[in-house]
Structure 1
Amino acid sequence: MVSLSLLQNLCGALLSHENIAALLVFLLVYNLMTFYQRRRYLVNVPPGPTPWPVVGSFGRFFIPAFIRRRFEQQSDSPYKNAAVAFTEQASVYGNVYSLFVGSQLVVVLNGYEVVKDALSNHPEVFSDRPATPAITIMTKRKGIVFAPYGPVWRKQRKFCHTTLKSFGFGKLSLEPCILQGLETVKSELLRLNKESGGSGVDLAPLISSAVSNVICSLILGQRFHHEDREFRTMLDQMVRGLEICVNSAAVLINIFPLLYYLPFGVFKELRQVERDITMFLKRIIAKHRETLDPDNPRDLTDMYLIEMLAQQAAGEKGSSFTEDYLFYIIGDLFIAGTDTTANSVLWILLYMVLHPDTQEKVQAEIDEVVGRHRVPSLADKGNLPFTEATIMEVQRLTAVVPLGIPHMASVTTEFKGYTIPKGTVVLPNLWSVHRDPTVWDDPDSFNPARFLDAEGKLLRKECFIPFGIGRRVCMGEQLAKMELFLMVTNLLHAFKFRLPEGTPPPPLHGRFGLTLAPCQYSVCVSLRS
């Protein structure tokens, strides 16, 4: 195996000499040959825009976006993330169409019926994960989010789900853990708001810390103070890493994997992010290993190490339960259990600021059911239909994971009259599902009432799938719903939120990475009587 340092030295040497010209010519010729050779064997694939040589459709969709972002402060043109652009292309090529990232065929699925048909009715075909270079380099195709579909993944997911449930995952017993973090958020909000002098408070650090501490208590057996420098750095690095992978020149790694090792720019930054997160998590695993008491497991990490040692003692050869695999599982849960839920809370509070009438209506419902002398609990959930409808409507509009996690066709199949070759990357466009005019009236408008029936009771719709659908549905769906409800109701029960005086509302296009985060905003908070 070629070492990282050797590859870095090689890249540095190439970049510092005229050899770079020869390298570029070689890469160009090689990728042209691969591109046209692959296209020659593709028959009856879904239609799509004509790809550019070497970069494929990447050139049409992303290079103009890079240029626009470079000069967006001087431009009045509206920003479009990839999910919006992909949704618009469906009106040209249909709800099933193809793109190329380099020579890799990508099929985009749009609209509820198409996404449901693929992921629910053909799970044996579309449940796999692609070996996308950028993701493969970072995850080694291990863990439970990006690992390929098969017996190893099923065994690891089942173990993690069963173990987490034993520690309260998705159960009412986890409520005190969530509320504990909320008390810190409330007290810090008041302090920071007072210190701001009316300029407002950035909610993101407090919310992400509170959300992350819930999953940390389950998988790492500890909570971190929101001002813990290392913990705060890890959360910031996690967000930055997701943005780099999807929303920067690092996307080119999927066409030219060796770019990952370039010693400058976002490529160097991405490697540093990976190193920092790796060191943080491996230190925690090492500490668990040193202090492990098999009779008194503290968290998922302990339970995994116990299972690993048991299989080793039983002489099981080739077991997938290894410390290396544990590292990637913890990484998956740490990231997935923080970023999506934290961004959802931030989006909901932003919409409450932008729609003060809805904020007041939610608060009035909470006051009527809960009163002013206790905090909202999960037991109140069934009696707060408008509040739940409001949370669901913001989730629908913002689609925090707008393109889902990439799927892959595990076999060549016929779908909707087209041939989907084995190895094709499949993107379920959840943004298009939640903006599908065939299932939603006036889909671009904010209207919580769409989730209520004529009697004001909560109306659940099968076309509402913020956590995905099929065998790869988000494992943490129940936990996320608990956190969203408790955080939103407790914060709105305690505070009134508004923008600082004279501050324009932030744009609603968000910051597109693997997840869709709201643009940075600050709020002023005031205690409700």
Structure 2
Amino acid sequence: MAALDTGCSSSSSSHLLLAAVAVLLLTRYLLKRRAGGGCKLPPGGPRRWWAVLGLGLGLDLGLDPRLPPHLLLDALGRAHGSVCSLWLGSRLLVVLSGFQTVRDALQRRADVFSDRPTIPLVTIITQRKGIVFAPYGLVWKEQRKFSLSTLRHFGFGKLDLEPKILEELQFVKSELYDAEGTAFSPFHIINNAVSNIICSMCLGKRFDYEDEEFRIVLHQIARGMKLASNSPAILINVFPFLQYLPFGPFKEFSQTVKDVTSFLKNIIAAHRKTLDPENPRDFIDFYLKEVDCEMQRNQDTNFSEDYLFYIISDLFVAGTDTTSNTLLWAILIMASYPGVQEQVYNEIRAVVGESRSPSIKDKHHMPFTEATIMEIQRMTTVVPLAIPHMASETVDFKGYTIPKGSIVIANLWSVHRDVSMWEKPDEFNPSRFLDADGNVVKHEAFMPFGIGKRICMGEQMAKMELFLIFSSLLQSFSFKLPEAEDAPNMTGRFGLTLSPHPFKIIPVKR
């Protein structure tokens, strides 16, 4: 019996020893993994979970923690180099700054840096579907290829987008004529106009500016984007369970997502009922037609009405916010630089005249106007941190190890302020995009739509909208700042995009 007891004691001791060794090895592994497994991680800011709020990062750099994230991360890059990092909870976030580094990562190493991370707040909205936030892979490639082909059809095919833009401009001008000589906020009419252009292309209809449903949806989108960029909602990325709280910003955010979802899904359902495959009216009809064709060829298709909803959401939300904010910046900057505004107007008058509206065909004959739009995009960078990327595998990059699964942020703001690429980058100067003969020159460090495989799908459509709306408005109006008010705040409000702070403008008929 004693022998048996001795054997049991020996066995228990062995098990305890093995368990202790296993715990020791696991702890060592986790610590090494946290520290990069002995590899050289990029240097950087605070290793604290609350860096997600910007507080830790700001204090570490000796800066005001209330600075917008793109400026904090720009300062981080200046302090630690073009490849640096910080921890968000247990996840490594790598920040890329400057033209050379961003280009080398997103273009030359696109095989590694083209994926998207799983971010709880984004996943709630997108379910990792669509074009913008979907993971890199076969499904994304198929959906993007089809969507890009359809958008090109609208831009340059028989369903030309230009007449829709010019039609919408008549409503904008009418609003501006009514407000002539008075100080008013242009946010409402610009947001409505850009949204309506997207609606015409995707949903097959435009909405009256006073349409109650349209007004509510635009308000919900704007409110949702504001909530998504505020600290309480951002905490969902650290504590995902917060999304289920039935009060405060969390409840409001969830309700906003539900309302916008209901609006778009009802429109898709109405299109399904009235679909004529021989005469597709808009993007939804083209996609539904493709769904039916794919179902006949292959029951296991990736095309579905569910996936269509997320693509439409991407086009509707992202397309509206980026373009409208760029145009709002354009109006504000033209009012702030009246000399440049007059140069643009003189070119429009010389090329287009006053009896007709500008056409996209005029663009090649209006280099100063085009250069001015490009300089506005460079100066404002409405998507300053791009859309987060992810390392799909562990990679050595610029002398550092970037572990698989790391979130990768490309700071496009820093690219557009890179002193090695731009002379006096903080100055507004459209001539930097013109050669000695006055022709537009393409600058390799100019990337307002991103770079690499994830470059914005709507780039060509956005360029068309910006040129036609900007040139048409300056053909008909000059814009002035109210003399009695303080100078406008030009730092911008950081959200999912960088928008101007509220401002008022005085339109004066030409």
CA contact (8 A) 1:101 1:254 kept: no
CA contact (8 A) 2:93 2:407 kept: yes
Q: Which moves more between the two structures, 360-369 or 133-142?
A: 360-369
CA contact (8 A) 2:384 2:498 kept: yes
**Match for 1:55 among 50, 59, 62?**
50
Match of 1:396 in 2: 378
In structure 2, distance between residues paired with 1:343 and 1:479: 15
| Residue 261 (structure 1) aligned with residue 244 (structure 2) | yes
In structure 1, distance between residues paired with 2:419 and 2:246: 47
Deviation at residue 311 of structure 1 after TM alignment: 2.6
Match of 2:283 in 1: 300
Deviation at residue 366 of structure 1 after TM alignment: 1.3
In structure 2, distance between residues paired with 1:132 and 1:343: 25
Match of 2:509 in 1: 527
**Match for 1:92 among 79, 96, 100?**
79
Query: CA offsets per residue over residues 402-445 of structure 1, 9 Å max, x none?
Result: 00000001111110011111111100000000000010111111
The normalised TM-score by structure 1 is 0.87
| Residue 165 (structure 1) aligned with residue 177 (structure 2) | no
Match of 1:314 in 2: 297
Match of 2:306 in 1: 324
**Match for 1:443 among 414, 425, 441?**
425
CA contact (8 A) 2:165 2:465 kept: yes
In structure 2, distance between residues paired with 1:516 and 1:454: 33
Deviation at residue 37 of structure 1 after TM alignment: 7.7
**Could you tell me which amino acid in structure 2 is paired with residue 281 of structure 1?**
L
**Match for 1:410 among 392, 401, 408?**
392
**Could you tell me which amino acid in structure 2 is paired with residue 408 of structure 1?**
M
**Paired residue secondary structure (1:135):** helix
Match of 2:355 in 1: 373
**Match for 1:475 among 457, 470, 474?**
457
Structure 1 residues 115 and 315 mapped into 2: Cα distance closer, same or farther (>3 Å)?
A: closer
**Could you tell me which amino acid in structure 2 is paired with residue 369 of structure 1?**
V
Structure 1 residues 383 and 34 mapped into 2: Cα distance closer, same or farther (>3 Å)?
A: farther
Match of 1:20 in 2: none
**Paired residue secondary structure (2:79):** helix
In structure 2, distance between residues paired with 1:348 and 1:380: 19
| Residue 183 (structure 1) aligned with residue 166 (structure 2) | no
**Paired residue secondary structure (1:87):** helix
Deviation at residue 171 of structure 1 after TM alignment: 8.8
**Could you tell me which amino acid in structure 2 is paired with residue 515 of structure 1?**
T
CA contact (8 A) 1:172 1:378 kept: no
CA contact (8 A) 1:38 1:103 kept: no
Larger Rg: 2
**Paired residue secondary structure (2:454):** coil
Deviation at residue 232 of structure 1 after TM alignment: 2.0
CA contact (8 A) 2:53 2:231 kept: no
Deviation at residue 374 of structure 1 after TM alignment: 2.0
Match of 1:238 in 2: 221
Deviation at residue 247 of structure 1 after TM alignment: 3.2
Structure 1 residues 307 and 170 mapped into 2: Cα distance closer, same or farther (>3 Å)?
A: closer
Structure 1 residues 221 and 57 mapped into 2: Cα distance closer, same or farther (>3 Å)?
A: closer
In structure 1, distance between residues paired with 2:139 and 2:356: 46
Structure 1 residues 84 and 466 mapped into 2: Cα distance closer, same or farther (>3 Å)?
A: same
Query: CA offsets per residue over residues 342-389 of structure 1, 9 Å max, x none?
Result: 110110110001111111111112112222222222122112111111
Structure 1 residues 170 and 138 mapped into 2: Cα distance closer, same or farther (>3 Å)?
A: farther
CA contact (8 A) 2:201 2:282 kept: yes
In structure 2, distance between residues paired with 1:34 and 1:234: 49
Match of 2:41 in 1: 45
Structure 1 gap ranges (5+): 1-31, 69-76
In structure 1, distance between residues paired with 2:411 and 2:452: 14
**Could you tell me which amino acid in structure 1 is paired with residue 500 of structure 2?**
P
Q: CA RMSD in A?
A: 2.3
CA contact (8 A) 1:288 1:302 kept: yes
**Match for 2:101 among 104, 114, 122?**
114
Structure 1 residues 57 and 330 mapped into 2: Cα distance closer, same or farther (>3 Å)?
A: closer
**Paired residue secondary structure (1:91):** helix
**Paired residue secondary structure (1:201):** coil
CA contact (8 A) 2:480 2:505 kept: yes
Deviation at residue 246 of structure 1 after TM alignment: 2.4
Query: CA offsets per residue over residues 18-62 of structure 1, 9 Å max, x none?
Result: xxxxxxxxxxxxxx999968514543110112312x435645357
In structure 2, distance between residues paired with 1:79 and 1:361: 37
The normalised TM-score by structure 2 is 0.90
**Match for 1:289 among 261, 265, 272?**
272
CA contact (8 A) 2:57 2:65 kept: no
In structure 2, distance between residues paired with 1:447 and 1:59: 32
CA contact (8 A) 1:376 1:490 kept: yes
In structure 2, distance between residues paired with 1:193 and 1:33: 70
Structure 2 gap ranges (5+): 1-26
In structure 1, distance between residues paired with 2:57 and 2:275: 48
Match of 1:341 in 2: 323
Aligned residue pairs, count: 481
Structure 1 residues 456 and 78 mapped into 2: Cα distance closer, same or farther (>3 Å)?
A: farther
In structure 1, distance between residues paired with 2:451 and 2:207: 33
Q: Which moves more between the two structures, 148-157 or 215-224?
A: 215-224
Query: CA offsets per residue over residues 457-480 of structure 1, 9 Å max, x none?
Result: 212201100000000000111111
Q: How does 1:12-27 map to 2 (within 5 A)?
A: none
Query: CA offsets per residue over residues 203-247 of structure 1, 9 Å max, x none?
Result: 111111111222211211111112212212222222222222223
In structure 1, distance between residues paired with 2:149 and 2:248: 42
Query: CA offsets per residue over residues 110-155 of structure 1, 9 Å max, x none?
Result: 0000000001101110000011111011110000000000000000
| Residue 428 (structure 1) aligned with residue 441 (structure 2) | no
CA contact (8 A) 1:189 1:201 kept: no
Deviation at residue 85 of structure 1 after TM alignment: 1.1
CA contact (8 A) 1:243 1:512 kept: no
In structure 2, distance between residues paired with 1:170 and 1:263: 48
Structure 1 residues 78 and 193 mapped into 2: Cα distance closer, same or farther (>3 Å)?
A: farther
CA contact (8 A) 1:182 1:210 kept: yes
CA contact (8 A) 2:391 2:407 kept: yes
CA contact (8 A) 2:98 2:418 kept: yes
In structure 2, distance between residues paired with 1:299 and 1:98: 44
